[in-house]
Every structure is written in structure tokens, then in C-alpha cells.
Amino acid sequence: MFIRGYGLYNETIARFTVKPNYILFFIAGLLTLFDILKNKIDKEKKIVLIKATKYIALLLTPIIIANIINISAFNYFSQEIIYEYIKLIIAILIFLLILYHSINNKIFVQKCLYASIASLSIIPFIYFPQLVYKFNLIDFHSRIKGLFSDPNSFANFMIIPASFLFYLIINSKTSTKKIFYYLLFIISLVAIIGSGSRSGFLGLIVSLFIISVYKIFSNLNKKYQIITNVSLIFLSAIIISCALLPQEYNRYEKIITKDIGAPETIYDFKRTEIWQQAFIAIRKNPFGYGLGYRYNFSDTNPIFYLTSVHSIILELFLIGGIFLFSTSMFLFYLFIKNFSHYPLLGSIFIGCLIPLIFQAGISLPWLWILASFVVNSHN
């Protein structure tokens, strides 16, 4: 059976399958954790890691309490809850892994940002119908999703290389580098626009706007020149990337549908419908249902069982209630308060958070990686 939630198709069984990259991240994170516990680390690293551990504990406490209360009250426990905890633990291990290796190591952070550009290598494949079909690069609505599970997640991740490339364009000293980064920036826009993710495009605009504002305030004597250059770079790149989008998406869709067949059962819920049900569930229990909350509603509210809640704000309330939401807002306040320590990383992080107003994503690995960069840059 195929299930669709606002345009996203997933096989029911695949929902409980741990992906190979998660396994690799888990092993790498676990080995890093053993390395931290086994070896003596310098005082500065210890201070940063202790602070980060406190932040993680603040987030985990209301989640665990909510799960314990609900398991006790409803006498309900399933493998889905374990699966959700595995995803979150892997994300936390990734956070510690990146944080540990990036403390006092700016080159490592730069290399990670440059590495994100490698994700653009999949974009040329979309111009070859057979490759699109073979690697399943688009969804049933002809939206580019690359190797991700859905177009929105793909666009969210693409904000990272796109924002970084934009930063490199406006800060590079030579024309050769500017042109090279500009061409790559166009490719990243092809990816985001082709994904059809409105929230992803909004996140990108916010990220680029913040980067531009910081560039202007660092060179106030050239503010009009910078505004003109930034506007030309963005608008021209948008026009070119739209022109470069493949015009054969409908044909791709027919190829895939003809071979795989139409879904046997389709569930299509509008976000407003999902949010309405989420508010009802939150009012019933303002302290949250814990991780795996969706499966508590498999009988009483099939909407949650069949699709995501499509908002990280509502997701926080449903998982850990008012306490998890308050904790998250406190950490976000600290992030904004110290924004001047990490303008580029902070801009990218906000850019990736904006789409999550319309998507769920508490366990997205790249968000935790960006969070580790932010924590490290503050110190």
C-alpha cells in the first residue's frame, strides 16, 4: 500500500526501516562517544561538551517524561516508539560527533560546508529520463526529491549549499571564483525550485537576506553597491535556473506511473486539516504524548497515523507538550542573543528552520549538524 500525506508517497513498511546512512552515522557517533569517554580531553573541549550535554538533557527530559506517562496511562508500547528514539539518538550522536571534531577547528567546519556542495552532483541526472526513473529522483507530482524521501526534505537540505555558495559569491576576491560559485549557485536553485517546495524557497530567501544584511552592515560605505550586486546575483540566478528546469516532467511521471502503477490507496490531507486535528490533540493533553505520538492515534485519529503533522511547532507540543516547547524557545532565544558570533552559520540554520514551520523535523540530521556548528562557534 502506498500512503500519501500532502503529496508525499512512502511505503508503509519502509517507514520502519533504518537507512544505511543512519547506521553509519550511529557507528561514527558511538565511536566518537567512546573516544570522548576513554581519552582525556582538554579543558576547553570539556566545557563545550558539558554545555552541549546540558542542552540535550533539557530537550530530552520532557520527551522521556511524556513517553513514560503515556505508556503507563494507556498501557501502550510498540516498536514504532523505539524506532523514533533510534532516529533521535542517531541525530544526537551526529551532533556530538561533529561538535567534538569542530571545537577549535574552523577548517573542519569549512570542509563540512564545502562538502555539502557535493550534493549538487545529483542534479545533472534529472535531465535524463531513464536515470530519473532508475534512481527515483522525483515524486509522483514530478517534484525533484533527489535521493531524499520527499521534495521538502530535499529542498530543506539544499538551503545549506545554496546559502554557502551565495556567501562565497559576495565575498570572493577574484572574478574567476565568483563565476564558478555563481554557476554552482544556479544549480542549487534548479534543485530548490524544481522541488516545488514553497517553504524551502522561503527558507532560502530568509537565509540569503540575513547574509546580505550582514554584508551591508560590514561595509556601510558601499551599501548601495552591495544591494545592487546582491539583487542582480539573485534575480539573474532565479531567471536562469527557471529556464534550465527540464520540460519533460510530465513524461517522467508517466514512465514511473506506467511501470509501478498507481497507488492502491491514497490518503490526501490538507495541512489545515492536519493542524486542526493537532490542536484538538494538544488541548486534550498539553503535556505531550512522547516520541511515536502518531501511533497512539492509529485508531482514534488516522490523520496522524498516515501522515506527518507538518509543523515542527505542533510536533514539539505533541511530543513534549508545553515544557518541550518552552525549552526549545529558551534555546532559540540563546541562539538569537549570540547571533553575532556565527552570522553565516546562523543564517543557514534559520534558513533551514523556516521551512519547518510547515514541516516536522525534530530528528533531521543536518539540523543537528548545523546546531553543533552554532554551539561551537559561540565558544
The answer to whether residues 162 and 204 touch, using CB atoms and an 8 Å cutoff, is: yes
Mean model confidence pLDDT for the chain: 81
The answer on pLDDT for 255 being more than 50 is no
Rounded CA separation 81/70 (Å) = 12
Which of the residue ranges 57-66, 84-93, 348-357 would you say has the lowest mean pLDDT?
Answer: 84-93
pLDDT score for 141: 76
Average pLDDT of 331-336? 93
Helix (H, G, I), strand (E, B) or coil at 162: helix
Radius of gyration for the chain, computed over Cα atoms and rounded to the nearest angstrom: 22
Closest CA relative to residue 60, chosen from 323, 367, 251, 294? 323
- Find the distance separating the first CA and the last CA of the chain, reported in whole Å: 49
pLDDT over threshold 60, residue 249: no
- At residue 181 the predicted structure's pLDDT band, cuts being 50, 70 and 90, is very high
CB neighbour list of residue 229: distance below 8 Å, 6 or more residues apart: 170
CA distances from 220 to 106, 169, 173, 232, 344 (A): 27, 19, 18, 19, 18
Cα dist from 351 to 201, 205, 274, 313, 345, whole Å: 9, 8, 24, 16, 10
Domain that holds residue 133: 2-378
Mean pLDDT of 61-75: 84
Task: Kindly report the pTM of this predicted structure.
Answer: 0.85
Give residue 273's identity as a one-letter amino acid code: E
How does pLDDT run across 340-369, given as a tens digit for each residue?
A: 888 999 999 999 999 999 988 888 889 999
Q: Which residue has the cell 497512539?
A: 296
What region does 142 belong to: left with phi over 0, alpha with psi -120 to 50, or beta? left
Q: What is the pLDDT of residue 1?
A: 28
DSSP string, 143-211: -B-TTSSSHHHHHHHHHHHHHHHHHHHHH-SSHHHHHHHHHHHHHHHHHHHHHT-HHHHHHHHHHHHHH
Question: For the residues 209-227, what does the mean pLDDT come to?
Answer: 89
Q: Binning pLDDT at 50, 70 and 90, where does residue 263 land?
A: very low
Burial (Cβ within 10 Å: 0-12, 13-18, ≥19) of residue 349: buried
Q: Any bridge partners for residue 5, and if so which?
A: 8
Domains: count for the chain: 1
State the residue for C-alpha cell 533521535.
88
Task: Extract the runs of DSSP E, i.e. beta strands, from the chain.
Answer: 2-5, 8-11
Percentage with pLDDT > 90 across the chain: 37
Q: What number is the average pLDDT over the span 13-40?
A: 62
Task: Tell me the average pLDDT across 157-182.
Answer: 94
pLDDT at residue 289 greater than cutoff 50: yes
Q: Which three cell numbers stand for residue 20?
A: 544505511
Bigger pLDDT: 42 vs 67: 67
- Over 70: is that where the pLDDT of 71 sits? yes
- Looking at residue 138, what DSSP letter applies? B
